[in-house]
Amino acid sequence: NLPTTFDKPVHIAVIGGTGLAQLEGYEPIAELNPITPWGPPASPIRILSHNGANIAFLARHGLYHQYAPHEVPNRANIAALRHIGVRCVIAFSAVGSLQEEIKPMDFVVPDQVIDRTKGIRPFTFFEGGVVGHVGFADPFDAGLAAVVKRCAQSMEGDGVVLHDKGTVVVMEGPQFSTRAESHMYRSWGGSVINMSTLPEAKLAREAELSYQVIAMATDYDCWHSFEDVNVELVLKYMKANVNNAKRLVGSVLDQLSQREHSDLITAKHWEGYAQGGLKFM
Ligand code: ADE
């Protein structure tokens, strides 16, 4: 029975993916149920407190994993976060590995994306007379990536393996790729593959948020002699490494809450970037 209002802006959010539906060690202090012009977000937004900092947490697939990747209400998720003051998003995702050296349970901080969604997901806020175009050459926020990399590197002696760049291929799903597609993505230079970083990252850019995905490999998709990807495999490796995932996210949140990062988390550098005159509530 948490309060359903919270009167201070919350700048930092975590969007949790498969296997990361909550963060321990944080005290829940409010649970918000905003309704946006794009409907309600996938889950209530939990406001968590840790060392005096407030963090918003949203479960991308819903509290009961009821939204398949193509059903995630991405516009509502991003609009709801922005509405409560969020300017900085750490998104977590389980991914398949397209490269030998990225092993199950390794972490990747991607710096590029290839869009293989099929245009069936609502993918923009700019429509219906609200016209805008945003640059997306670098889909993630370099300042945020630097913080994540530093945190992961400081955990490297501790069972955390980090790949500090890479290209994430975002496919439509819910079916996994064919073997031919998997080989094609490798030939394109893909490092990892998932079903959820887009349109989330595009919408975050349109909403002038700084955004970085932290990926954790759970399988070798189906190009490798390793077992072909299946849901049990994804959950097995996610579960095996969830403590490291939570420690990494926790360490990133601790860092971001430091005063030296106040410009980064208020996304001053993205302010006015989209200039679409959007209203998020
Ligand atoms: N998520 C985790 N593993 C995946 C894979 N191999 N393909 C697409 N999404 C994934």
> For position 118, what pLDDT does the model report?
95
Residue nearest (by alpha carbon) to ligand 1 atom 5: 96
Q: How far apart are CA 53 and CA 180, in angstroms?
A: 47
- Ligand 1, pocket-test mutation among 61, 177, 194, most atoms within 8 A of CB: 194
Q: Is 211 in the pocket of ligand 1 (CB under 6 A)?
A: no
pLDDT < 70 positions in the chain: 276-277, 281
> Are 65 and 18 within 8 A, CB to CB?
yes
> Are 40 and 33 within 8 A, CB to CB?
yes
> For position 277, what pLDDT does the model report?
67
CA of 265 relative to ligand 1 center, distance in Å: 29
